[in-house]
Amino acid sequence: MQKIIVLVENAGKRIDKFLAGEFFLYSRGEIVAKIKEGSVLVGGKKIKPSYRLEEGNKIELEDFSHQQRKLLLNEKIKIDLIFEDENMLVINKPAGLQVHPSEYQQADTLTNALLAKYPELIDVHDDSVEAYLRPGIVHRLDKDTSGVMVVAKNKKTFEQLKKLFKDREITKKYLAIVSGVMESSSGLIQKSLARSVGFSKQLIARENTKTKVREAATAYEVLHQYAAHALLEVTPKTGRMHQIRVHLASIGNPIIGDLIYGKKKKALASEKTAQRQLLHAKNLTFQLDGKSYDFEVKMPKDFVDFLAKIKEKR
């Protein structure tokens, strides 16, 4: 039996449409059939497919098993492996590669590639809703963010790494190229975040924010200040969705190429050449089973090319 508590941003949605988004490997007709047969309860009671959700509703799901739905394997996607032992994989994820399947991308993700090469990962997950879509995945990078990721190869390591991330005992460092001149050579951005009402992006929380507010902190250091851009090393102290992108944009220095949070009235010509947000996870440091691990991947080519262009124009 799986359970979902309805959040405010999903209130008002038809339950059949909501579940079709959450369990996208099932067809809408299959979900409607499950609702009608009583495999979906709200507050312990049968409901109709047209039932409108309310905030706080407890949805109980019977027989929504991942064993009925097989993830597609993709042997064509190359995995840039930088470390492997019996417990974990460490990879350099390229920009443009989504981490796990979604309603709109079911075959060309890191998960599809991992399962093609490591089929034993299929059961390495917890019991959360749709967890089978994220086998071995203990943290994520945005589709257009490149860099180092660690993947668990067994359930014990999965739980250990999840706890390390939750307890903030893993240090993550990123490189970011931002627009503008930084006011300080280093700093700490402490601004709480919340989801937009449409749940599609993060916002700096305000007094009248309706969605759940979460504390967030991001440290940065300027590695090099150019005429109209800066190269930063960024260390998130918390792990909120899009945290670095939102925080840097909030101080007037959005990440180059960020189409969601980095919009400006007039972008420089050099900025228009960026094919994605120039954010790269360069380093992960942690301890596991008494051993210290420190993984680092080099600056990607599009970073190097962009920096070369703005140096030439100084």
Pairing between β-strand 146-152 and β-strand 279-288 as defined by DSSP bridges:
parallel
Q: How far apart are CA 132 and CA 86, in angstroms?
A: 21
Name the DSSP class of 86. S
Name the active-site residue from 108, 126, 127, 142: 142
Name the percent of the chain in helix, strand, coil, to the closest 5: 25, 30, 45
Determine the straight-line distance between the first and last CA of the chain, rounded to whole angstroms. 61
Pairing between β-strand 217-225 and β-strand 229-236 as defined by DSSP bridges:
antiparallel
Which residues face 98 on adjacent strands? 109
Residue 305 annotated as catalytic: no
Report the candidate in 131, 129, 92 with the shortest Cα–Cα distance to residue 113: 92
Residues in contact with 54: Cβ distance below 8 Å, sequence separation at least 6, in sequence order: 6, 11
Catalytic residue ranges: 142
